[in-house]
Chain A
Amino acid sequence: MKHFVFLLTLIISLSGQAADLGRGLRLMPVQDNGRIKPYDTFAQETLEVVYGKKKYEERAAWEVVLTWMLAPQVWGEKELFEVRNPQIQKALGLDEHRRWFKGEEVFGNERFPELMSDLRSRRETKEKLTPYFQALQRIESQFFVFREMAEGHLLRVMPSPKGDAWLSVADLESPAREAFGDVTQKFVLLLGSISTGGLAADNASLALDQSVAHFQELVHAANTSGVQISQTGLEMELFYNDFHPFRWAYIFYLIAALCGIVGWILDKKAFSYGAWAFTIIGFLTHTFGFALRVYLAGRPPVSNMYETVVWVAWGGIFFASALELIYKPRFILLAGNLAALVALVVADTAPAVLDPSLQPLEAVLRSNYWLIVHVMTITISYAAFFLAFVLGDIALIEYIKEPAKQQPAKMKAMVQAIYRCLQIGVSFLAPGIILGGIWADYSWGRFWGWDPKETWALIVLLGYLAVLHGRLTGWIRDFGLVVCAVATFSLVIMAWYGVNFVLGAGLHSYGFGAGGVEYVSAIILAHWLLLLYVVVLQKGRTSK
Chain B
Amino acid sequence: MKKPWPTRILKALASIKLAVFIMVGLIILIAAGTIIESRLDAEAAKKMIYDTWWMTGLMALLATSLTAVLIDRWPWKVRHVPFICAHIGILVLMLGAVLTVKFGLDGTITIPIGEDSRYIVLPGQTDILVYASFGGNGMTKLHEEAVDFFRHPPTVENPVRINSDAGTIDLIDYRKYVLPKKQVLVTDEATAGAGVRFQIQNSRVSVVEWLVQRRPEAMATHDFGPAQIHLGVAPTLGRGKNEIWLTAIGDKIHWVVYRKDADEPFAKGVTEEGGKVQTGWMGLELRILRYLPKAREEWDFDEIDHPTPLTTSAVKVRFLGKEHWLLLDDTLRLFTQTTAYMVSYLHRRIDLGFPIALKSFEMVPYEGTSKAKEYRSHVQLPGAPEEVISMNEPAKYQGLTIYQASFQNDESGKPVASVFSVNSDPGRVWKYLGALIISVGIIWLFYSRRRPKAAATTKDV
Contact = CB atoms under 8 A, between A and B. Distances in A.
B27 A473 contact: no
B371 A34 contact: yes
A475 interface: yes
A441 B96 CA distance: 13
B455 A445 contact: no
B431 A447 contact: yes
Contacts of A474: 455-456, 458
B310 interface: yes
A126 B308 contact: yes
Nearest to B427: A447
Contacts of B16: 469-470, 472-473
Contacts of B439: 430-431, 434
B353 interface: no
A364 B372 CA distance: 10
B412 interface: no
Interface in A410-427: 416, 419-420, 423-424, 426-427
B61 interface: no
A270 interface: no
A476 to B, nearest CB: 8
B455 A363 contact: no
B369 A33 contact: yes
Interface in B391-422: 391-392, 394, 401, 403, 405, 421-422
A456 interface: yes
Contact of A430 (B37, B375, B391, B442): B442
A418 to B, nearest CB: 10
A456 B96 CA distance: 21
Interface residues of A, number: 69
Contact of A426 (B366, B392, B442): B442
B431 A437 contact: yes
B37 A165 contact: no
Nearest to B368: A165
Contacts of A20: none
Most buried by B among A164, A364, A445, A447: A445
A34 B366 contact: yes
A506 B38 CA distance: 8
A366 B23 CA distance: 35
Interface in A71-105: none
A237 B173 CA distance: 62
A424 B445 CA distance: 11
B106 A442 contact: no
A470 B33 contact: no
Nearest to A32: B368
Contact of A469 (B23, B365, B366, B392): B23
Given A34-B369, A466-B23, A445 B425 contact: yes
Contacts of B369: 33-34, 360
Contacts of B310: 125-126
Given A465-B23, A466-B23, A503 B34 contact: yes
Interface string A440-454: 011111111111100
B367 A445 contact: no
B317 interface: no
Nearest to A456: B34
Contacts of A419: 452
Given A470-B20, A505-B37, A366 B373 contact: yes
Contacts of A476: 455
A364 B391 contact: yes
Interface string B429-458: 001100100110011001000001101101
Contacts of A463: 23, 27
B461 A472 contact: yes
A1 interface: no
A506 B45 CA distance: 11
B425 A447 contact: yes
Interface string A352-391: 0000000010111011100000000000000000000000
Given A503-B37, A503-B38, A505-B37, A164 B455 contact: no
B428 interface: yes
B181 interface: no
Contacts of A462: 23-24, 26-27
A459 interface: yes
Contact of B24 (A364, A458, A466): A466
A363 to B, nearest CB: 5
Contacts of A32: 368
B368 A452 contact: no
Contacts of B97: 447-448
Contacts of A360: 366, 369, 371, 373
A504 B41 CA distance: 11
A170 interface: no
Contact of A34 (B24, B42, B368): B368
A367 B401 CA distance: 21
B152 interface: no
A169 interface: no
Interface in A459-508: 459, 462-463, 465-466, 469-477, 491, 499, 502-506
Contacts of A434: 435, 438-439
A455 to B, nearest CB: 5
B401 A445 contact: yes
B228 to A, nearest CB: 25
Contacts of A35: 366-367
Nearest to B16: A473
Given A443-B403, A503-B38, A469 B19 contact: yes
A426 B446 contact: yes
B372 A444 contact: no
Contacts of B392: 364, 367-368, 442-443
A445 B443 CA distance: 27
B431 A450 contact: no
B435 A125 contact: no
A321 interface: no
Contacts of B38: 452, 502-506
Given A445-B425, A505-B34, 8 more contacts: A31-B367, A156-B368, A431-B443, A446-B423, A448-B97, A452-B38, A475-B20, A503-B34
10 contacts: A164-B367, A427-B442, A427-B446, A430-B438, A431-B438, A437-B435, A441-B425, A441-B431, A447-B428, A466-B27
